[in-house]
Chain A
Amino acid sequence: MKFGVFISAQQPRSDDPVARFREAVEQARLAKQAGFDAPPPPSLSVAADQSLQSLPLLARLAGEAPAW
């Protein structure tokens, strides 16, 4: 059994994307330490929000958790 986790790449438009990005990095780091198996694919879901670019974010998060 494998487990993965999505990291939300989205945030309300009023949010600071830099702060949300740093939180995403922290979530990825914790997810790795918590034992999740796969790098977190950034998820996009809600149209009214803004979003970090998925592929650059995924590459960045993959580098943040070296054992992945």
Chain B
Amino acid sequence: MVIVPVGIAAAMLNPVQTPRRSPASTFMSEGKVVVRHRHRLPRRSNTRLRHDRAPTGAAHAGGARIDQAGCGPEEVVTFLRASSSRCMTPPARSAVQSRTADLDRRQCRPGGAPHGTARLFLARQPARRIAQRSSGNGTAIASAGRGEPPDATARPICLELHVAPTHEEAVETARPFLEGKYAAYAEWGQDKVLPGEESFRVGFDDLARDRFHPRTAEEVIEQIGASGVRRLDSNYLIFRMGWPGMQAATILRVIEMMGTQVLPLFSTTNTAAADGCRPNPIVIRRRPVSTARSGSRPSPDDGHFCDTRHSRLSVVMSAERAKVRRRCPKISADGRAFQLLRDAEPGFPAVRERYQSLSVG
């Protein structure tokens, strides 16, 4: 086993500055001990997980080293609590009994913050290699952390997304952050690898076309269900909904709007969407309707179409929201994420206050 300081590895990945290693580890672990490993494991035909004792004696407790079939270079990060007397891995949640080695979580009992062990591929792996792993006998990157067997059918794609009550507000909010980000990309020269004459040094509208998605919730639903997913042939969407410098309250609002207005429609607990990777549980049809009182039905070619999706969606969404509220009472009727946070653990008042000042559409 070769131990590589993560701070050094991160610095090699990109030119982003990282805080000094020790202070960052201290406040991120919140008093827990951080152990970081980098393994280079041989390919194996089976998956196994080895549960080790912590390496440095009584001051540490618990810990797991994960061996996964088909792994190349990987990093394993384990948070351990400093007090062995209060941190025992409950047998029922033993890592050995875990269904998978992708992610193992053990709560510290009694009380205290949880700690976790996460495993993932390094981002600097070539895309073709990740694709080979996703489609072959390796571990799909999309399944990391899901507590599920490797999913060779996952076809993940990452999208820049911002959701607001109106399209204009979504664009206005996201624009300065996206412009700054892609200006940095252009400065790095990342657009030099783009095909043809494509460049990041263009106006925002051109830059945003087919790349950013500042939208209302209904536009997101339509994009996911009707055209976007089918065109991209993806069944796993990862959204970047916040950018450096954006207020945390704004990001929380976007997460909350996605959770209450979009995700329930595509949830696997929704029976209509539970059959595999079918992209859209809602049938959104544009049906021709008559615009004349005589009842004459226009042909699809004459442009007299009435888009019925909004009325249909509102009915479906209302029903889905009711289901979600029954299933998860913490999702309140007024849709405020604060309601979720208030019922959760003690949080961060400053963020809550800022969030409360925002209205949710």
Q: How far is the CA of A36 from the CA of B17 in the complex (A)?
A: 29
* B207 close to A (CB within 8 Å): no
Q: Which of B130-138, B251-259, B284-292 contacts A (4 or more CB under 8 A)?
A: B251-259
Q: How far is the CA of A18 from the CA of B36 in the complex (A)?
A: 20
Q: How far is the CA of A49 from the CA of B78 in the complex (A)?
A: 26
Residues of A within 8 A of B6 (CB): 53-56
* B105 close to A (CB within 8 Å): yes
Residues of B within 8 A of A62 (CB): 103, 105, 116-118, 145
Q: Which of B48-56, B107-115, B299-307, B309-317 contacts A (4 or more CB under 8 A)?
A: B107-115
Residues of A within 8 A of B273 (CB): 1
Residues of A within 8 A of B120 (CB): 41, 55, 58
| Contact yes or no, B237 A39, CB < 8 A | no
Which B303-361 residues have C-beta < 8 A from chain A?
324, 328, 330-331, 337, 340-341, 344-345, 347-348, 350-351
Residues of A within 8 A of B25 (CB): 53, 56
Nearest Cβ in chain A — how far from B94, in angstroms?
15
| Contact yes or no, B103 A34, CB < 8 A | no
Per-residue B-contact encoding for A13-32, CB less than 8 Å = 1, 0 else: 10101111111001101110
Q: How far is the CA of A68 from the CA of B144 in the complex (A)?
A: 10
| Contact yes or no, A45 B184, CB < 8 A | yes
Q: Which of B7-15, B165-173, B194-202, B211-219 contacts A (4 or more CB under 8 A)?
A: B7-15
Q: How far is the CA of A51 from the CA of B17 in the complex (A)?
A: 6
Q: Which of B105, B118, B244 contacts A45 (CB under 8 A)?
A: B244
Residues of A within 8 A of B13 (CB): 44
Residue of A with least CB distance to B93? A66
* B101 close to A (CB within 8 Å): no
User: Which one of A12, A36, A63 has the greatest number of beta carbons of chain B within 10 Å?
Assistant: A63
Which B138-172 residues have C-beta < 8 A from chain A?
142, 144-147, 154, 156, 158
Nearest Cβ in chain A — how far from B45, in angstroms?
26
Q: Given A3-B238, A26-B347, A63-B116, decide whether A31 and B255 contact each other with a Cβ distance below 8 A.
A: yes
User: Which one of A23, A33, A54, A60 has the greatest number of beta carbons of chain B within 10 Å?
Assistant: A60
Q: Which of A8, A47, A59 contacts B243 (CB under 8 A)?
A: A8
* B28 close to A (CB within 8 Å): yes
| Contact yes or no, A49 B118, CB < 8 A | no
Residue of B with least CB distance to A18? B27
Q: How far is the CA of A27 from the CA of B344 in the complex (A)?
A: 12
Residues of A within 8 A of B127 (CB): none
Q: Given A6-B240, A10-B244, decide whether A50 and B28 contact each other with a Cβ distance below 8 A.
A: no
Q: Given A10-B16, A45-B184, A49-B17, decide whether A1 and B237 contact each other with a Cβ distance below 8 A.
A: yes
B interface, CB within 8 angstroms of A = 6-7, 9-10, 13-19, 21, 24-25, 27-29, 34, 36, 75, 77-79, 103, 105, 107, 113-118, 120, 142, 144-147, 154, 156, 158, 180-181, 184-185, 187-188, 224, 229, 235-246, 248, 251-252, 255-256, 258-260, 263-264, 266-268, 273, 277-279, 324, 328, 330-331, 337, 340-341, 344-345, 347-348, 350-351
What are 18 A-B pairs at a CB distance below 8 A? A1-B229, A1-B237, A2-B236, A3-B266, A5-B255, A26-B348, A27-B255, A30-B252, A33-B344, A34-B258, A46-B243, A47-B14, A47-B16, A53-B7, A53-B28, A56-B24, A56-B34, A62-B103
